[in-house]
Each structure stands twice: as structure tokens, then as C-alpha cells.
Chain A
Amino acid sequence: MSTAPGADAERVIEADKVAVRFGARTIFQDVSFSVRRGEIFVVLGGSGCGKSTLLRLLVGLVPAAAGHATVLGVPIDSPDPAAQRKIRRNTGVMFQQGAMFGSFSLLQNVMLPLVEFTRLPHDAAEWIARTKLGLVGLADFAGFMPSEISGGMLKRAAIARAMALDPEILFLDEPSAGLDPITSAGLDALITSLSRDLGITFVVVTHELQSILAIGDRVIMLDREAKGMIAEGDPRKLRDEATHPTVRAFFRREELV
């Protein structure tokens, strides 16, 4: 676990009563929370509760039907290109399947944002990209194509690409889904060490209980039935003290009666 920042730390993400609807179907509503600089913030919940949708909302891929949210002080739906650029340049996203560009090698994937968005010399961009691949343990796979590596490696490569421009915030969608426990624990260790050593703020969407307890500084829990948030706080406290039946069932791996 990383050393959690205090309650007075700067808030890098704030959401106020946000809602997402697809047509007439409400995915969630009245979701409010804030993320502090340097913490590992976990969004958890069962399948279909809208946790990935919440992440897509925060990165601007899904519009909010109601409410208001800011990332690094910028409204996520700001039409101002400079404001949007500030969010894009200072956040990175790892998608569930990695979303590595299949026609580029891992090194080219990580170099792409460096080459496109900075004026760094090619040598510098390559050095940085190799370092980022090394940070996620893929230094020896720089020349591999995404189709040539395993699912766990793809996710780590996607983290390296998301970190290419040294973002302040990293959004991770289901980093441990579909991975074996050892790989998954390795990924958890990577996330905590990056948070501790480089001060990156993480917003992690997951339903893996062990991951949540291992890395989460603070969590919010979404629920499909409630169409919104049903819990917020320290995951270990929630495990021990929660009274909400769904939250208790989730943390104790029980069936909901």
C-alpha cells in the first residue's frame, strides 16, 4: 500500500452528481466523489454496474447526462481546445484489452505520443519509450508486435504507452481482469510502486477483491440495482465495518440473500 495523501491534498478529479444514460436506460446517477493527488482511487462494483462507463465519462468518451465533473480543474466537457489539450496531455488511459496499435511494435506504440505531441529529438523519444517499457518490465520486448505477447504483457505495455508523456493521472480499466493471480499481483505491485516513486495519481476500475485491498487508498462502490454509489471510503474499513448488504456481500464474497 502506498502512503495515502491526507484529506487536505489537492483534488485532481471532482465529480458532482454525474449521471450517464443510454437512451432511456440510466446506467448511474447522482455519483459524486473527488480524487486527491497521488492516491490510488478504486472504482469497484459487480458486472454491469457502470464502473467502466464512469471511467469512460471521466476520459471524455461518454457524455454526462447530468451533473458536472472536472479533471485537473478543467470541466471534462469543456469545448475549449486548450483545456481539452491540458486534460489529454496530463492523463493516460489503459483500456481493458490494452488497445495497442496492432501494426506498430511495442516501442513504436510507446513512442507515438512522444513523437506526435513533443518536439523531442528521436533519440530522446526512443530513450524515454525504452525506459517506460522497462518500468513495466517489458524492456526485452520493445521490438515485439502486440499480437506476439500475452494478455498480461499487453496490459503492461498499455500502461507504458499511457505513461509516455509522464501524465499526472493514469486511468486503468480492469488491469487485473483475465490475468492469473501472480501476474495480477505483479501488476498491483507495479501500480503501487509507480504511485509511490513517481507520484502518479491512479483511478482504477476493478472488481478483483484482492487487488482492491492491496492497492486501494480509497474506493467508491457502484451498484447496478441502486444505479449509483452505495459506498465510499477505505476498502479495509468497508470490508470490516460496512452495513450495506451488497457492500458486505461483495467484500466477504457472499451470495446476496
Chain B
Amino acid sequence: MAERFSLTETTAAGGTRLAFAGELDAQAATALWPKLLGRDAKRPAGIDLSGVTRCDGAGAALIQSIQAAHPGLAVTGASPALSRVLARFAEAHRAPAARSAAPDPLPTRIGQAVIAGFSAAGEGIGFIGSVVVSTLAVLVGRGKLRLSECAAQAEAVGTRALPLILLLGFLIGLILAFQSAIPMRRFGAEVFVADLVSIALMRELGPLMSAVILAGRSGSAFAAEIGTMKVNQEIDALYVMGFDPVQFLVLPRIVGAMLAMPVLAVAMLASGIAGMTTVMTGFGFPVSAILRQVTRATTPEDLFGGLFKAMVFGLTVALIGCRRGMETGTGPKAVGESATATVVGSIVAIVLLDGMFAILFNLLGL
């Protein structure tokens, strides 16, 4: 590209005179900046702008940076129009304020993190408290639970997740049966694969996998929906209109998730047993024998324990998703952060709860 500017340097008393000509724009500034403002640039004797035909913000930045680097430098030859432009930019420019003080020392930051952790835990307990209060209000008739919204949430959380649950359940049953058949065969105990898979699915995998899917599919959606409403001040609007945001937004989601989860767990169990049966028939067992083995191996306690766990997981995921949504900050990243935090937090909480259930059921002898 042809250069639309030129710089003539003439040696005079006291140093070099810089005579600019042509168009001082981003192209000129890019080319001249390192030379005139680099580390080894010398103080010029003066700047002559009489040949400059046009100067934009970048050109003005160049001239003014040279002036700022060498206070008292004379600038001559600018046309009235150019002087006006330069004056406008010079008046506007403000050097950055001095940097703020050094970062806090490590102990201070550790202390701040601890305080932040405690206050976050306190806020979490506060949220659970407000959900309990709202639930009680509904139970004693002081509040209203929007049943149609609960049903809509149950549909979104449950019905629409069914194809995924059925597919995953079938595959998990299939894989479990295949994998456990290998060691079982060594003992001639292949028929007990049915016991293993059905107990595992009923007590553990059904509720657990359903909850993981709930966290990924619906927990994140709760956080994003409520978070977007928060960012758009819709939560504030609900509040000033006299609605309880918890009653209006959180309870239907909790009820929906708690209703849907046992159904999802049963669906996963059924499709898992179907997957296992597919493998077992391949080994030569008749379907009736497999199903008899399943009914003999499992008890109603196994089933109801699993369903109870599923409900608790549903409650947990919905609580975490809604709380993250309600706490969404401002800015475009906030909603995404809430959704991520929901999925991570939910999965950790589910696994922890599952461990606690294992201990509890063991103590109760279930």
C-alpha cells in the first residue's frame, strides 16, 4: 500500500525537527509510533505540521504522545482546522489514574475466602429456609401452589427426558449383564446376573443415573431460566407485584422434579432389565426364568428405597438449580456460570447423598 504520509527530519540547533505531511491516520501512527516513541527515541527539537492534510484520532494520539513524552515541545504549522481537531482530542485525553494499592497479603485473602465460604453456606441455608417457609405457607393455605405450572414442570423434567432415560437404561442393563457374565461364568453362576443387574439398578443405578440426567438436563435449565429472569429484573417485578418468587418459581420446579424422578427411576429400571434380558436370552435362558429370578432376588423394600432416593435426588437438584438461578449476578457470563455451578454442585451433592443413604439403609437393615 502506498504511504499517504511522510516524515522529514531536518537537523537543527538542539536536535532534529520533525516535519509531518499528508494524512496522519492509523496507518501513519502504526508506522511511526515505534520509531518516534520507542525506547531509544531522542527528544526532537520541534514538530512541524504544516504539510498535514488530514489527522484523525490515531494521528492525534501520535502527536500528543510525543508531546507528552517530551514536555514543552513546540508544535507549529497546524492549520486552524487541524488545530481544532488536535485541541478536541487533547482536551479529551486523560492519563490513567495511578494503579490501586498492592493486592492484599495471603493471610488476608485466605481470611476473605473463609468468610465468603461461610456466608455462601449461610445463604444456602437461608434459601432452604425460605423454601420451607413457602411450602408451609402453601400447606396452611396462606399461599397458592400453581398446579398447572407443577404439571408443566413435571412434563418438561420427566416426560421429555423419557426417551433418553429409556435408551441409557437399556444400554446400562446390557453392559452390566455382559460385564458381570464374564466372572460369573467361571463359577457356573450366569443365572445370577439377573439378580445382580436388577438389584444394582433398583437400589443404586436407577436413582443415581436418573439424577445425573436430571442435573444435566433440567437443573441447568432451572438455573438458566430463573437466572435470565433475574438478569431481566423479572424476579424484582414478581416481588413488587406481591408474588413470592419462591412460591411462584421454585416450588413448581421442586414439585415437578420430585414427581418426575421416581417415574424416571422406574423407567430406567424397566429398560435396564429389558437390556439385561436381551443379553441373558442370548446366553440361552428363557425370558420366564430370567423374570422369575428378578422377582425372587428383589424385595419391595429395594424398590421403595430406590424410589425414595430418587425423590430426594429430585428435590436436591431442583433446590440447587433454583438457588443458583436466584443468585445469578449481572452480565452475560452470570447465567452460564449459574448453569455450570448447578450441574457440578448437583452431581457432587447426589453422590454424597447416595453415600449417606448407603450408610443409613445399612443401619436400618434395608
Chain A residues within CB distance 8 Å of chain B: 101-103, 114, 118-121, 123-124, 127-128, 130-135, 139-140, 142-143, 145-147, 163, 165-166, 193, 197-198
Contacts of B30 in A (CB 8 A): 118-121, 124
- Verify A134–B85 contact, CB threshold 8 A: no
- Verify A118–B88 contact, CB threshold 8 A: no
- Verify B33–A131 contact, CB threshold 8 A: no
- Verify B61–A121 contact, CB threshold 8 A: no
Return the chain A residue nearest B87 by Cβ: A197
Between A and B, 13 residue pairs with Cβ closer than 8 Å are: A102-B330, A118-B26, A119-B30, A121-B37, A123-B65, A124-B37, A134-B93, A134-B94, A140-B97, A142-B96, A143-B96, A147-B330, A147-B331
- Verify A127–B93 contact, CB threshold 8 A: yes
By size class, the interface of chain B is 20 to 34
- Verify B84–A197 contact, CB threshold 8 A: yes
Minimum CB–CB distance from B99 to chain A (whole Å) comes to 10
With contact pairs A128-B58, A166-B57 given, residues A123 and B332 touching in the complex (Cβ less than 8 Å): no
Bitwise, B303-338 to A at CB < 8 A (1) or not (0) is 000000000000000000000000000111100000
Q: Say which residue of A103, A131, A143, A193 sits within 8 Å of B89 (CB atoms).
A: A131
- Verify B26–A166 contact, CB threshold 8 A: yes
Minimum CB–CB distance from B330 to chain A (whole Å) comes to 4
- Verify A124–B85 contact, CB threshold 8 A: no
Chain A interface main SS type = helix
- Verify A102–B33 contact, CB threshold 8 A: no
With A and B bound together, what is the CA distance between A135 and B87 in angstroms? Answer: 11
With contact pairs A124-B33, A131-B92 given, residues A103 and B57 touching in the complex (Cβ less than 8 Å): no
- Verify A123–B333 contact, CB threshold 8 A: no
Q: Say which residue of A123, A127, A166, A198 sits within 8 Å of B25 (CB atoms).
A: A166
Contacts of A102 in B (CB 8 A): 330-333
Bitwise, B191-231 to A at CB < 8 A (1) or not (0) is 00000000000000000000000000000000000000000
Return the chain A residue nearest B54 by Cβ: A199
With A and B bound together, what is the CA distance between A134 and B34 in angstroms? Answer: 24
- Verify B89–A121 contact, CB threshold 8 A: no
With A and B bound together, what is the CA distance between A103 and B93 in angstroms? Answer: 24
Minimum CB–CB distance from B11 to chain A (whole Å) comes to 26
Return the chain B residue nearest A196 by Cβ: B84
Minimum CB–CB distance from A2 to chain B (whole Å) comes to 13
With contact pairs A118-B26, A120-B58, A128-B58 given, residues A145 and B331 touching in the complex (Cβ less than 8 Å): yes
- Verify B33–A123 contact, CB threshold 8 A: yes
With A and B bound together, what is the CA distance between A12 and B94 in angstroms? Answer: 33
B45 interface residue per 8 A CB criterion: no
Within B51-100, the residues touching A (CB, 8 Å) are 56-58, 60-62, 64-65, 84-85, 88-89, 91-97
Minimum CB–CB distance from A18 to chain B (whole Å) comes to 30
Minimum CB–CB distance from B182 to chain A (whole Å) comes to 51
- Verify A198–B333 contact, CB threshold 8 A: no
- Verify A103–B58 contact, CB threshold 8 A: no
Chain B residues within CB distance 8 Å of chain A: 25-26, 29-30, 33-34, 37, 56-58, 60-62, 64-65, 84-85, 88-89, 91-97, 330-333
- Verify B56–A166 contact, CB threshold 8 A: yes
Contacts of B331 in A (CB 8 A): 102-103, 145-147
- Verify A123–B37 contact, CB threshold 8 A: yes
- Verify B34–A127 contact, CB threshold 8 A: no
With A and B bound together, what is the CA distance between A145 and B29 in angstroms? Answer: 28
With A and B bound together, what is the CA distance between A142 and B97 in angstroms? Answer: 10
Minimum CB–CB distance from A45 to chain B (whole Å) comes to 27
Q: Say which residue of A124, A145, A147, A197 sits within 8 Å of B58 (CB atoms).
A: A124
With A and B bound together, what is the CA distance between A101 and B332 in angstroms? Answer: 8
With A and B bound together, what is the CA distance between A133 and B91 in angstroms? Answer: 11
With contact pairs A102-B333, A140-B97 given, residues A197 and B61 touching in the complex (Cβ less than 8 Å): no
- Verify A130–B37 contact, CB threshold 8 A: no
- Verify A132–B57 contact, CB threshold 8 A: yes
Interface centre among A124, A143, A193, A197 (most CB of B within 10 A): A124
A131-B64, A139-B94, A165-B26 known; 20 other A-B pairs, CB under 8 Å?
A102-B331, A102-B333, A103-B333, A114-B26, A118-B58, A119-B30, A120-B26, A124-B30, A128-B58, A131-B57, A131-B93, A133-B92, A134-B91, A134-B93, A134-B94, A140-B94, A145-B331, A146-B331, A147-B331, A197-B84
Contacts of A123 in B (CB 8 A): 33, 37, 65
Contacts of A119 in B (CB 8 A): 30
Minimum CB–CB distance from A26 to chain B (whole Å) comes to 31
With A and B bound together, what is the CA distance between A131 and B55 in angstroms? Answer: 14
- Verify B57–A163 contact, CB threshold 8 A: yes
Which 8 A-B pairs have CB atoms at the shortest separation, nearest pair first?
Answer: A134-B92, A139-B94, A166-B56, A102-B331, A135-B92, A131-B93, A147-B330, A127-B61
- Verify B88–A135 contact, CB threshold 8 A: yes
Return the chain A residue nearest B100 by Cβ: A143
